[in-house]
Amino acid sequence: MSGGDKLDFEIRPNLAPVSAADRAALLTNPGFGRVFTDHMVTVRYADGKGWYDARVEARAPIPMDPASAVLHYAQEIFEGLKAYRTADGGVTMFRPDANAARFATSAQRMAMPVLPPEVFVDSLHKLIEIDREWIPTDEDGSLYLRPFMFASEVFLGVRPANEYLYMVIASPAGSYFTGGVKPVTVWVSPDYTRAAPGGTGAAKCGGNYAASLAAQAEAIEAGCDQVVFLDAVERRFVDELGGMNVFFVYDDGTVVTPPLTGTILPGITRDAVMTLAAAAGHQVEERPISFTDWQADAASGRLKEVFACGTAAVVTPIGGVRFPDGEFLIGGGEPGQVTMALRQQLVDIQRGKAADPHGWVQRVL
């Protein structure tokens, strides 16, 4: 079947997979994004034909013509989510339907064809099923899934491509924090912005991340872990970090995050944190936070905690803030109670250790 909302995947097992012994050695310390499983998913698209040729096959390099459209006009989008082992030996994913919906939104913004959500989720299931032995068994391990799509048509010309390739690769991941969760220090960029109104800030496309790298390098040079971007219009209001959304916790228990105005990626972890915080009795607000207010509220003690959130690190406490004219601490630089409680609750839900009243966890195996 091809071109519809459901595709039949042809399974072509890798004839030379990594041996069990070598796989076990790799899984002892996989890091993040450096070790990959034996297989990948590929699905093709052509105008007038739709989606077709869905496969699970041996992971291998992609043959690519030098004139492939993605190399010249950057039509490319991606997602990131994880699969987890459960105590009973099963495997789960966290909110893959939300990733499928965001992938579709990103495609629309980048003038690309929309992959049916059913095909997106099914492609993840198929890859997990064949590469399940690559999921780490340790408590903090997971299998990071990277679906992506790019313009594969061979042409030079500024227009949407007529051919695309959708793929999924997988990478076992260990604990993001070795030795426990540590607060990070962030750099507020004075010169660079991530996205402007009307731009691609709300799409998960590679160009947004490429645009953040110079600012991230500036942050590293300043001795910081991550960069914080201010809005592109007034250079006053906090948007997000280079790869994570940001939250502020005040002395009255209010939890605040910048609103989604088209310049901020609508994070799936962000949405889950807002839901959990509200269920825990916090007043949750989406409203602009200026950098001057951030500074003043930290100095007065009104602002108690700040944290970032995303797929890789889940919830990360922010302990210090640096900028060209100085620096300041948040809550003495230590992880806050609200931050750590939300992190633990989210991690427990993702790994099947806590109740899932919102139906976020999807059983795969």
3-state secondary structure of 344: helix
CA distance 11 to 360: 28
Which residues are marked as active site? 204
Beta bridge mates, 3: none
Residues 6+ apart with CB under 8 A from 70: 76, 150, 151, 152, 161
Burial of 172 (0-12, 13-18, 19+ CB in 10 A): buried
Burial of 364 (0-12, 13-18, 19+ CB in 10 A): buried
Q: How many CB atoms sit inside 10 A of residue 132's CB?
A: 17
Residue type at 127 in one-letter notation: L
Cβ distance 14 to 58 under 8 Å?
A: yes
CA distance 227 to 245: 11
